[in-house]
Amino acid sequence: MVFRRRSPRSLLQWLKNLAYPDGGWQRAGSYVWHRLRRLPDSPERIAKGIAAGVFISFTPLFGFHFVAAASIAWVLRGNVLAALLGTFFGNPFTFPLILVSAMETGSLILGKGHMLSPRGVVGSIKGMWQEVGHNAYAIFTPDPIIWDQTKLFFGEVFLPYMLGGSLVGSVVAVAMYFVSLPIIRAYRIRRARKLQKRFERARAASRKTDQRN
């Protein structure tokens, strides 16, 4: 299995690896690309899976990226594992660019001008979770249930993010499909040639051994 580990990680190690994987992001990126090239499937299906994972990386469906990417890959008849690996396009280095491009695009489409400031985005998210916690407590108390902050979050953050991310993500995903497809094909051809040469050398060595005997 690709994701199986010899020793299970603790929750603290898992959270740490989200921000900084073992060996650094360069090594993690090399590992993901190595796995993508050697998946046992057609280059077209692998490229579709990569595109699905990249697209989902531009959406605010945090916690559901794997499920959503796998679902889109299945609909497109792409490789599901490639889609899961493709979600690594969204990482701490690319996330700021994804966030700004998605929210700016969504805000412009909705006629809001520009996106909220980073402080406003963080404040909206914080206010929403505080309100959710308050409402959960209010179920058992006389306190009123209010959804003002939640409505503000969905209107000012989630909706622009989802709309803009879907548009920008579609463009980037299509580009990644056409970029990754010839690379995977070229790798497969080169690998097949290496295997053929290795086979021919082994056969030639075997013939020499038979002639000597």
pLDDT at position 2 is 46
Distance of CA 97 to the CA centre of its chain: 14
Q: Kindly state the percentage of the chain with pLDDT values over 70.
A: 78
pLDDT at position 137 is 87
Confidence band (pLDDT; 50, 70, 90) for 187?
confident
Q: Which pTM was predicted? A: 0.74
Q: Tell me the CA distances in angstroms from 185 to 63, 125, 179, 210, one per residue in order.
A: 32, 43, 11, 37
H helices then E strands: how many in the chain?
9, 0
Confidence band (pLDDT; 50, 70, 90) for 173?
very high
* b/e per residue 145-178 (b: at least 16 CB within 10 A): eeeebbebbbebbbbbbbbbbbbbbeebbeebbe
pLDDT at position 32 is 56
Residues contacting residue 207 through CB under 8 Å, at least 6 positions apart: none
pLDDT tens track for 57-78: 999 998 899 999 999 999 999 9
pLDDT at position 113 is 81
CA distance 36 to 192: 16
Confidence band (pLDDT; 50, 70, 90) for 181?
very high
- Residue 141's CB is within 10 A of a number of other CB atoms, namely 8
Residue 36 has pLDDT above 80, yes or no: no
Q: Which of 48, 93, 44 lies closest to 69, judged by CA?
A: 48
More confident residue, 4 or 87: 87
Q: Is 32 exposed, middle or buried (0-12, 13-18, 19+ CB in 10 A)?
A: buried
Confidence band (pLDDT; 50, 70, 90) for 106?
very high
Locus of tokens 């890959």: 73
pLDDT at position 11 is 46
pLDDT at position 30 is 58
